[in-house]
Homo-oligomer: A and B are copies of this chain.
Amino acid sequence: MSETKRTEISSLGEFKLIDHLTANFAATNSSTIKGVGDDAAVISCGSLTPNPSPEERGGRMVKVVTTDMLVEGIHFDLMYFPLRSLGYKSVAVNLSDVYAMNATPKQITVSIAISNRFSVEALEEFYEGIQMACKKFEVDLVGGDTTSSNKGFIISVTAIGEANENEIVYRSGAKAGDLLCVSGDLGAAYCGLQLLEREKAVFREHPEAQPEFSNRQYIIGRCLKPEPRKDVIDFFRHAGIKPTSMIDISDGLSSEIFHLCKQSETGCMLQEENVPIDQETYHQALEFNVDPITCALSGGEDYELLFTIDPKDEKKIRDADDLRVIGKILEKEKGMKMITKGGNEIALTALGWDAFKPT
């Protein structure tokens, strides 16, 4: 090899790396409605049946496509991650991206690379988890690839969903004045993961010790078995709401707010006191000497939905148990800010999880 320039991947980080590598790719097919840069790509069908019903004529049906890769030792640790949960989660994280487009997932493909340390029985457990998710969210497993690896377990899932084109919600549609909203609560998966890591360390020192998970079932469940928010999409349809923008929270609230504001070319004002944090998360964070809001802002893997709505839909959102208005979209010039519980206005920084961050 000649002495050429070497730029470390970690110097760019995951998002800048993707932007850099795909910068020269232009979509040329008319069926590509949206390529790289949202939770999923959007593809037209350009297609017809001979006698469309009036209902079908209402909008052009489009497909959405999203894919995620999970790597042992990076995204999961089989010391505490049951294979059944891993199968379920591998599907769930992709369905979450489909829901974040306001679309309905219909098919998945699952590819795995596995070393010979895994038995057929271990893979059966993994596929049981996949099947649980397929049944619950009514998606079909339609393909995949199964191969060997020299080391570890690598999973690649692609999910395909559908929607009418006019139902699709992008990251880029937020407008100044819109309300910033979130489903569920945040930071729990991160606290659950930290707890599992702590008990793993304890177990290594003292293999006879029993893990200490009392009163922490919720946060551990949030880590091991995330639930994509199909119910939120169903609620939107039922309530007649179309969010102006949406993204799923896989890398932490602040990182997702950054994506949303960047692509919508807006600023925002987040109110700390409105960020939903579960009691278990709160107590676990304090036990770890971490401010709970930090877990919500920077902890990943919650798989909740972050979205914006027109202020006219505010009442409908306030009626929903599980949805919270957490801030407001501002003009771009006003920047991205947070009002703390103490009433101070501070700059919001993107501190999401980055697969390439040096540790």
A146 with B21: CB separation less than 8 A: yes
Question: What residues on B are CB-neighbors of A57 within 8 Å?
Answer: 48, 50
Residues in chain B near residue A147, CB distance under 8 A = 14, 69, 71, 74-75, 355-356
Q: A106 within 8 Å of B by Cβ?
A: yes
Residues on the B chain within 8 Å of A123, using CB: 9, 17, 21
Residues of B within 8 A of A21 (CB): 123-124, 127, 146
Q: Which listed residue (B6, B41, B45) contacts A143, Cβ 8 A?
A: B41
Residues of chain B with a CB closer than 8 A to A286's CB: none
User: Is residue A12 contacting chain B, with contact meaning CB distance below 8 A?
Assistant: yes
B152 touches A69 (CB 8 A): no
A319 adjacent to chain B (CB < 8 Å): no
Interface pair B355/A69, CB less than 8 Å apart: no
Please classify how large the interface on chain A is, using the bins under 10, 10 to 19, 20 to 34, 35 or more: 35 or more
Interface pick from A156-164, A191-199, A271-279: A156-164
A346: CB under 8 A from chain B? no
A149 within 8 A of B: yes
> Would you call A314 an interface residue if the criterion is a C-beta within 8 Å of the partner chain's C-beta atoms?
no
What sequence of 0s and 1s flags, for each residue 30-54 of chain A, a beta carbon within 8 Å of any chain B beta carbon? Answer: 0110111000110101111110100
Task: Tell whether A22 is near chain B: CB-to-CB under 8 Å.
Answer: yes
B46 contacts A121, CB within 8 Å?
no
With beta carbons under 8 angstroms apart, the residue of B28, B34, B131 that contacts A138 is B28
Additional A-B contacts beyond A9-B116, A9-B123 (10; CB < 8 A): A4-B121, A6-B119, A18-B146, A24-B131, A25-B134, A28-B138, A35-B143, A45-B63, A48-B56, A149-B152
Counting from the closest, the 3 A-B pairs by CB-CB distance are: A47-B61, A45-B45, A41-B142
Which residues from chain A sit less than 8 Å from chain B, CB to CB?
A: 4-12, 14, 17-18, 20-22, 24-25, 27-29, 31-32, 34-36, 40-41, 43, 45-50, 52, 56-57, 60-63, 65-69, 71-75, 106-107, 109, 111-114, 116, 118-121, 123-124, 127, 131, 134, 138-152, 154, 156, 158, 160, 162, 355-356
Q: Could you name 29 residue pairs across A and B whose Cβ atoms are closer than 8 Å?
A: A9-B116, A14-B147, A21-B123, A22-B141, A24-B131, A29-B106, A32-B142, A35-B143, A41-B142, A43-B63, A45-B45, A45-B162, A47-B48, A48-B49, A48-B52, A48-B57, A48-B60, A65-B143, A65-B158, A65-B160, A66-B109, A67-B143, A71-B147, A74-B147, A145-B156, A147-B355, A147-B356, A150-B152, A158-B158
